Amino acid sequence: MATAPSNRKHDFTVWYVFVAFLALMLLQWGLERISPVEAIPFSQFRQLVSENKVAEVVVAPDRIDGTLRAPLPSGRLAFATERVDVGLADELAAHGVRVTGATSGGWISTILSWVLPAFFFYLVWTFLIRGMADRHGLGGLMTIGKSHAKIYVEKDTKVTFADVAGVDEAKFELQEVIAFLKDPKTFGRLGARVPKGILLVGPPGTGKTLLARAVAGEAGVAFFSISGSEFVEMFVGVGAARVRDLFEQARQAAPCIIFIDEIDALGRSRAPGLAGGFDEKEQTLNQLLAELDGFDPSSGVILLAATNRPEILDPALLRAGRFDRQVLVDRPDHSGRLAILRVHARRIRLAAEVDLTKVAGLTTGFTGADLANLVNEAAIAATRRNAPAVGFDDFTAAIERIVAGIEKKSRVLGKEERRRVAYHEMGHALVASALPSVDPVQKVSIVPRGVGALGYTMQRPTEDRFLLSSSDLADRLAVLMGGRTAERLIFGDVSTGAADDLQRATEVAFEMVVKYGMDATVGERTYVASAENLLMRSRPQTIDASEASGREIDLAVRQLIEQAGRHARDILEQRRSDLEAGAALLLQKETLTAEEFAPLRRRGGTSQGGEAVPQAAA
């Protein structure tokens, strides 16, 4: 993808002043050294006059310039001295010296003494002060209202739909924009008009910005790219001025595409009763709304915007006639992930035995950015072991690194700590293997990884899944509680290693109660406050419930977690021999796969895919 040329920034330091002063001193010293005129004291001048050695002089109001009949010891004939004696004319005439008068200064001396220094300091001001203004985002008072959009043309974009994979539905929606920009008359032969604005909505890393650049590359038109945060500055009115300037530039460059990334920074919902720092953002948003109403899409200006938080955008921005269409750019499915992997695999040397279909199956829930990072990490892993090509094991290691974190080989655990972590992780794995609705176990390890994980249990889904039942979520809670339950079963108490498990279990149980209405006591309703209401509250609330309902919610969440703990305990008590054997083998080998330890394999039923995250002990 193209990148706009970057302007080099200069940092102002006191050394600039020192160097400039030194340069002026050296310049003055050099001019004095090469000057044919020698400065002499007035007393020496009087003596030279009395000895008849002065041929002629030019008398100015404040100095005397002259030439001698014989050179001075320095070899110079010309001299200059300050004028002191006002009665000098008689003495000069008595010795036959030719005297000429002169006025002070002239246009040449004026330029040398005033214009050149002023020009020099102007250059210093431009170089240093303007550089400081650009670095701090001011950009000069004359350009403060100018748009900061980076302009790309077709040859700069270098991105087409061939470089974008996994978002076929979004590409189909945007084909109409390309058709209009290429041939507006044919597109509108039936009276249809292209949408004024198209909003790309999706999670971070799904390729919204790349898709917008691909539209510009396919259409072969100018592409104005700017972030929503670049409109708002510390001065009131600057954001609105920049919006006006951006659309004016776009009209002059039509046909073209305006792309505003992270538009939620600019188009956040206007909450009533809030003032102060929100005034500038509201003025900027109002100007954007006015520009959307004012420009004619038939002129060839298309507005694209991207956000991952559409729920906080102002309703006036999303109404018909402004952003007419919303295009979902979601996480890719299995076929989409396979297409994305093939695009990125073109940049690396891939081993012949690598099956990208299997890699796509192991990366459920990954976004396009995650897959690009995965391919790069696999290539780094292969380079680290001096392999001739990137193999499947490198992809497995890269997935493990991304999901669970980097190995902490320097973190050495004590004997009892390793034993507790082994039982903890084996508890997660055995509960997961006993429940058919959760993701199958791929690997169990007691090697510390990431920031605080002393071990981890990696579960990978085998297929995409978009709905979860209450029993599915209850089984996931049981898996999360499996590690803590195993500790209590073997050691009689619990440790701090289950902190992350408890946090995630609490989040799942909380959503089951307040978001999905899966508890009969609390009722089949949602208690989550809407995004609009959250913006109107001075102190954000997590739930919209009375005090009595809040107590019922707390009791329901606790009951769900306790039930999950009892379910996990029943499983582990029945499989205690597997727990003992698995923990002993894990202490010996540190890492186990389902192929190496048969009790970890799925018992009954088939796996239903889900979210691609590991079950890990903190």
| pLDDT tens-place string over residues 29-71 | 666 556 677 778 877 887 888 888 888 888 877 788 888 888 8
Residue 165 lies in a domain: yes
Q: Are 368 and 340 in contact (CB under 8 A)?
A: yes
Cα-Cα-Cα-Cα dihedral sign, residues 38, 43, 49, 52: negative
CA distances from 376 to 278, 347, 355 (A): 42, 9, 17
Residue 568 and residue 577: Cα distance in Å, rounded? 15
Number of domains within the chain: 4
Indicate whether 549 and 600 sit together in one domain.
yes
Boundary residue ending a domain (79, 104, 129): 104
Higher per-residue pLDDT: 341 or 251: 341
Q: What is the pLDDT of residue 97?
A: 67
Boundary residue ending a domain (404, 429, 458): 404
Share of the chain above pLDDT 70, in %: 73
Residue 70 and residue 396: Cα distance in Å, rounded? 95
Indicate whether 204 and 294 sit together in one domain.
yes
The closest alpha carbon to 337, from 161, 172, 468, 206, belongs to: 206
Indicate whether 321 and 338 sit together in one domain.
no
Provide the CATH number for the domain around residue 163: 3.40.50.300
Residue 86 lies in a domain: yes
Indicate whether 491 and 361 sit together in one domain.
no
Q: Is the pLDDT of residue 607 over 50?
A: no
Residue 264 lies in a domain: yes
The range of the structural domain enclosing residue 304 comes to 150-270+278-328
Q: Are 205 and 369 in contact (CB under 8 A)?
A: yes
Q: What is the pLDDT of residue 478?
A: 93
Q: Is the pLDDT of residue 144 over 80?
A: no
Indicate whether 299 and 357 sit together in one domain.
no
The closest alpha carbon to 301, from 259, 260, 255, 261, belongs to: 255
Residue 165 and residue 344: Cα distance in Å, rounded? 10
Q: What is the pLDDT of residue 15?
A: 65
Indicate whether 491 and 556 sit together in one domain.
yes
Indicate whether 202 and 157 sit together in one domain.
yes
Indicate whether 345 and 390 sit together in one domain.
yes
Residue 4 lies in a domain: no
338-349 average pLDDT score: 90
Boundary residue ending a domain (104, 128, 159): 104
Confidence grade of residue 568 (pLDDT, cut at 50, 70, 90): very high
| pLDDT tens-place string over residues 519-559 | 888 888 888 765 444 333 333 346 777 888 888 999 999 99
Q: Cis peptide before 5, with omega less than 30 degrees from 0?
A: no
| pLDDT tens-place string over residues 511-527 | 999 888 898 888 888 88
Residue 281 and residue 268: Cα distance in Å, rounded? 8
Q: What is the pLDDT of residue 277?
A: 47
Which segment, 72-86, 201-215, 282-296, is predicted with the most confidence on average? 201-215
Residue 173 and residue 182: Cα distance in Å, rounded? 16
Q: Is 611 a catalytic residue?
A: no
Q: Is the pLDDT of residue 10 over 50?
A: no
**In the structure encoding, which two tokens stand for residue 509, read together?**
């149980």
Q: Is the pLDDT of residue 401 over 60?
A: yes
Q: Is the pLDDT of residue 24 over 50?
A: yes
Residue 441 lies in a domain: yes
Residue 539 lies in a domain: yes
Residue 141 lies in a domain: no
Provide the CATH number for the domain around residue 595: 1.20.58.760
Tell me if the pTM is above 0.85. no
Residue 155 and residue 159: Cα distance in Å, rounded? 9
Q: What is the pLDDT of residue 407?
A: 67
451-461 average pLDDT score: 74
Indicate whether 203 and 339 sit together in one domain.
no
Q: What is the pLDDT of residue 377?
A: 92
Higher per-residue pLDDT: 12 or 547: 547
| pLDDT tens-place string over residues 262-320 | 888 888 877 654 444 456 777 888 888 888 877 666 677 888 899 988 888 888 888 88
Provide the CATH number for the domain around residue 68: 3.30.720.210
Kindly name the residue from 280, 377, 425, 487 that is annotated as catalytic: 425
| pLDDT tens-place string over residues 109-133 | 555 566 667 667 777 766 666 655 5
CA distances from 177 to 158, 160, 172, 231, 322 (A): 18, 14, 10, 26, 15
Q: Are strands 323-328 and 441-445 parallel, antiparallel or unpaired?
A: unpaired
Indicate whether 266 and 164 sit together in one domain.
yes
Indicate whether 399 and 250 sit together in one domain.
no
Provide the CATH number for the domain around residue 374: 1.10.8.60
Relative orientation angle of helices 278-294 and 238-252, to the nearest 10 degrees:
20
Name the average pLDDT for the chain: 77
Q: What is the pLDDT of residue 127?
A: 66
562-582 average pLDDT score: 92
Indicate whether 429 and 521 sit together in one domain.
yes
- The widest CA-to-CA distance across the chain, in whole angstroms, is 133
Residue 421 CB burial class (10 angstroms; 0-12, 13-18, ≥19): buried
Q: What is the pLDDT of residue 608?
A: 31
